[in-house]
A = this chain, B = another copy of it.
Amino acid sequence: MFSFSVSTAKKEELIDITPKIEKIISDSRVNNGICVIFIPHTTCGITINENADPSVINDIIKGLMIIPETGFKHAEGNSPAHIKTTLTGSSINLIIEEGKPLLGTWQGIYLAEYDGPRKRQVWVKTIGSQP
Protein backbone atom coordinates (compact mmCIF):
# COMPACT_ATOMS: atom_id res chain seq x y z
CA MET A 1 0.00 0.00 0.00
CA PHE A 2 1.15 3.49 -0.88
CA SER A 3 0.07 6.67 0.85
CA PHE A 4 0.64 10.39 0.71
CA SER A 5 -0.67 13.44 2.50
CA VAL A 6 -2.43 16.50 1.18
CA SER A 7 -2.66 19.80 3.04
CA THR A 8 -5.89 21.58 2.29
CA ALA A 9 -6.14 25.37 2.59
CA LYS A 10 -9.85 26.16 2.66
CA LYS A 11 -12.96 24.88 4.44
CA GLU A 12 -14.23 23.39 1.20
CA GLU A 13 -12.21 22.73 -1.94
CA LEU A 14 -11.38 20.10 -4.53
CA ILE A 15 -7.64 19.40 -4.88
CA ASP A 16 -6.21 17.72 -7.97
CA ILE A 17 -4.20 14.64 -6.93
CA THR A 18 -3.86 13.13 -10.42
CA PRO A 19 -0.07 13.60 -10.75
CA LYS A 20 0.51 11.92 -7.35
CA ILE A 21 -1.67 8.96 -8.32
CA GLU A 22 0.14 8.60 -11.66
CA LYS A 23 3.51 8.61 -9.88
CA ILE A 24 2.40 5.94 -7.39
CA ILE A 25 1.07 3.69 -10.14
CA SER A 26 4.33 4.07 -12.03
CA ASP A 27 6.33 3.26 -8.87
CA SER A 28 4.15 0.22 -8.13
CA ARG A 29 5.35 -1.43 -11.35
CA VAL A 30 1.86 -2.79 -11.94
CA ASN A 31 1.64 -2.62 -15.71
CA ASN A 32 -1.84 -3.94 -16.14
CA GLY A 33 -4.58 -4.13 -13.52
CA ILE A 34 -6.64 -1.90 -11.28
CA CYS A 35 -6.07 0.66 -8.57
CA VAL A 36 -8.14 1.41 -5.46
CA ILE A 37 -7.89 4.90 -3.99
CA PHE A 38 -9.21 5.14 -0.44
CA ILE A 39 -9.66 8.19 1.79
CA PRO A 40 -9.39 7.33 5.53
CA HIS A 41 -11.44 10.32 6.73
CA THR A 42 -15.12 11.03 7.33
CA THR A 43 -15.34 14.70 6.32
CA CYS A 44 -13.52 14.50 3.00
CA GLY A 45 -14.11 12.28 -0.03
CA ILE A 46 -12.75 11.47 -3.48
CA THR A 47 -14.21 12.16 -6.90
CA ILE A 48 -13.35 12.41 -10.59
CA ASN A 49 -14.39 15.48 -12.55
CA GLU A 50 -13.26 18.09 -15.10
CA ASN A 51 -9.62 19.20 -15.06
CA ALA A 52 -9.85 21.95 -17.69
CA ASP A 53 -11.95 24.89 -16.47
CA PRO A 54 -11.32 25.48 -12.73
CA SER A 55 -14.85 26.92 -12.45
CA VAL A 56 -16.21 23.38 -12.56
CA ILE A 57 -14.72 22.26 -9.25
CA ASN A 58 -15.92 25.46 -7.58
CA ASP A 59 -19.39 24.87 -9.02
CA ILE A 60 -19.36 21.36 -7.51
CA ILE A 61 -18.68 22.85 -4.07
CA LYS A 62 -21.47 25.35 -4.70
CA GLY A 63 -23.90 22.67 -5.92
CA LEU A 64 -23.42 20.64 -2.74
CA MET A 65 -24.62 23.63 -0.73
CA ILE A 66 -28.10 22.13 -1.20
CA ILE A 67 -27.18 20.39 2.07
CA PRO A 68 -28.27 22.81 4.82
CA GLU A 69 -25.53 24.30 7.02
CA THR A 70 -27.54 23.95 10.23
CA GLY A 71 -30.27 21.87 11.85
CA PHE A 72 -28.14 18.86 12.78
CA LYS A 73 -27.33 17.29 16.18
CA HIS A 74 -23.64 16.30 15.93
CA ALA A 75 -21.92 18.50 18.52
CA GLU A 76 -18.84 19.21 16.39
CA GLY A 77 -21.05 21.17 13.99
CA ASN A 78 -19.60 19.60 10.86
CA SER A 79 -22.48 17.31 9.91
CA PRO A 80 -22.79 18.89 6.44
CA ALA A 81 -19.20 17.73 5.78
CA HIS A 82 -20.08 14.17 6.87
CA ILE A 83 -23.16 14.15 4.62
CA LYS A 84 -21.22 15.47 1.61
CA THR A 85 -18.60 12.76 2.20
CA THR A 86 -21.25 10.04 1.96
CA LEU A 87 -22.64 11.66 -1.21
CA THR A 88 -19.16 11.90 -2.78
CA GLY A 89 -17.80 8.55 -1.62
CA SER A 90 -14.60 7.42 0.10
CA SER A 91 -13.13 5.17 -2.60
CA ILE A 92 -12.77 5.03 -6.38
CA ASN A 93 -11.31 2.53 -8.86
CA LEU A 94 -9.07 3.13 -11.81
CA ILE A 95 -8.05 0.78 -14.61
CA ILE A 96 -4.27 0.51 -15.20
CA GLU A 97 -2.73 -0.18 -18.63
CA GLU A 98 0.92 0.14 -19.63
CA GLY A 99 1.75 1.37 -16.15
CA LYS A 100 -0.68 4.30 -16.32
CA PRO A 101 -4.16 4.99 -14.98
CA LEU A 102 -6.70 5.21 -17.77
CA LEU A 103 -8.55 8.50 -17.59
CA GLY A 104 -10.81 10.33 -20.03
CA THR A 105 -9.47 13.43 -21.76
CA TRP A 106 -11.09 15.88 -19.33
CA GLN A 107 -10.86 13.81 -16.16
CA GLY A 108 -8.83 14.63 -13.06
CA ILE A 109 -8.84 12.89 -9.67
CA TYR A 110 -9.82 15.17 -6.79
CA LEU A 111 -9.66 14.99 -3.03
CA ALA A 112 -12.89 16.68 -1.91
CA GLU A 113 -12.28 18.62 1.31
CA TYR A 114 -15.47 19.56 3.16
CA ASP A 115 -14.09 20.44 6.61
CA GLY A 116 -10.68 22.01 6.14
CA PRO A 117 -8.13 23.27 6.33
CA ARG A 118 -6.57 19.97 7.45
CA LYS A 119 -3.81 17.54 6.61
CA ARG A 120 -5.40 14.56 4.84
CA GLN A 121 -4.14 11.10 3.89
CA VAL A 122 -4.72 9.27 0.61
CA TRP A 123 -4.20 5.49 0.42
CA VAL A 124 -3.55 3.71 -2.87
CA LYS A 125 -3.44 -0.01 -3.64
CA THR A 126 -2.60 -1.48 -7.04
CA ILE A 127 -3.57 -5.00 -8.14
CA GLY A 128 -1.98 -6.59 -11.18
CA SER A 129 -3.69 -8.85 -13.70
CA GLN A 130 -2.90 -10.70 -16.90
CA PRO A 131 -3.06 -8.30 -19.88
Residues of A that sit less than 8 Å from B by CB:
1, 33-34, 36, 38-42, 47-50, 53, 55-56, 58-60, 62-64, 66-68, 71-76, 79-80, 82-83, 85-95, 97, 102-107, 112, 121, 123, 125-130
Copies in the complex: 3
Measured CA separation A105–B40 after assembly (Å):
8
- Contacts A42-B106, A67-B66, A128-B129 given: A74-B56 contact, CB under 8 Å? yes
Given A40-B103, A42-B49, A63-B83, 13 other A-B residues pairs in contact with their CB atoms under 8 A = A36-B93, A38-B93, A41-B107, A48-B86, A55-B74, A56-B74, A56-B79, A58-B73, A60-B86, A64-B83, A87-B87, A87-B88, A127-B127
- Judge whether B85 and A49 touch: CB under 8 Å: yes
20 contacts between A and B (CB under 8 A): A1-B95, A1-B97, A1-B102, A33-B125, A39-B104, A40-B104, A42-B49, A49-B86, A53-B74, A53-B76, A55-B73, A56-B74, A58-B73, A59-B83, A60-B82, A60-B83, A63-B72, A63-B79, A91-B94, A93-B93
